[in-house]
Each structure stands twice: as structure tokens, then as C-alpha cells.
Amino acid sequence: MTKNEIVKTIRSFAKANGRNPSIRDITHKTKVTRHFIYEQFGSWRKALAAAGLNAGGPGMAQPESALMLDWAAATRKLGKIPSVYEYERAGRFSNVPFQTRYRRWKDVPEAFA
């Protein structure tokens, strides 16, 4: 299977379902296998990028810039530095990627310094 065929399959699934497909969606509902994906692209993230889709959701690591922009947006929305619970309600991500990078929630604002 070629890269173009895989990309076309990913795009058509995304368009038909109104969301990015998971690798499981593609491998269970089409003729594309994990072997073809990893052989042609090396990773699922790269396959999504080739199809013009942003990799996101559970299990997909986000770049630090995306996390910080979202944290800043939640801060502006709330009008103050959010607690973990406030951020989880107002932001797009959980607190886990922040605590993985900065260890403690109170260290997140220092990343802007």
C-alpha cells in the first residue's frame, strides 16, 4: 500500500466522521494495517500530519507551545492564575502534561519567565 493510498483513506475517514480517526479506526474499518502505516510513515502522528490533520487526544503528546498557549488562554478567561481544577474546567488538556514537564502545578507560571 502506498503513502498516497493511506493518506487518502485517513482523510476520507476524517471527512466522513467529522473527527480525526484513531489508528484503531483505520486498521479495523479499512484495509490499511499498522504494518503499512509504520512502514510508510514510521508513526501514526506522522501519518496524520501527512494527511493534513493535527495529532491530538489521549495518548498524543502535545508540544510545550500548545500547552502554554492553552494555559495562557485559560488564565485570561478566568482573570487569574488557575488552580489545577479551574484549569481542567477551562482548558483543553488535563494537568498531567504540565506536571510531567514542571513537576508541580505552582511551577507552571514560572515557565513564562
What share of the chain in percent tops pLDDT 90? 58
pLDDT of residue 57 exceeding 70: no
Q: What is the pLDDT of residues 69-102, one digit of tens each?
A: 999 999 999 999 999 999 999 998 888 889 989 9
3-state secondary structure labels for all residues of the chain: CCHHHHHHHHHHHHHHHCCCCCHHHHHHHCCCCHHHHHHHCCCHHHHHHHCCCCCCCCCCCCCHHHHHHHHHHHHHHHCCCCCHHHHHHHCCCCCHHHHHHHCCHHHCHHHHC
pLDDT of residue 54 exceeding 90: no
- How high is the mean pLDDT of the chain? 89
What share of the chain in percent tops pLDDT 70? 96
* Residue pair 15/7 in contact by the 8 Å Cβ criterion: no
pLDDT for position 59? 65
pLDDT of residue 31 exceeding 70: yes
pLDDT for position 6? 94
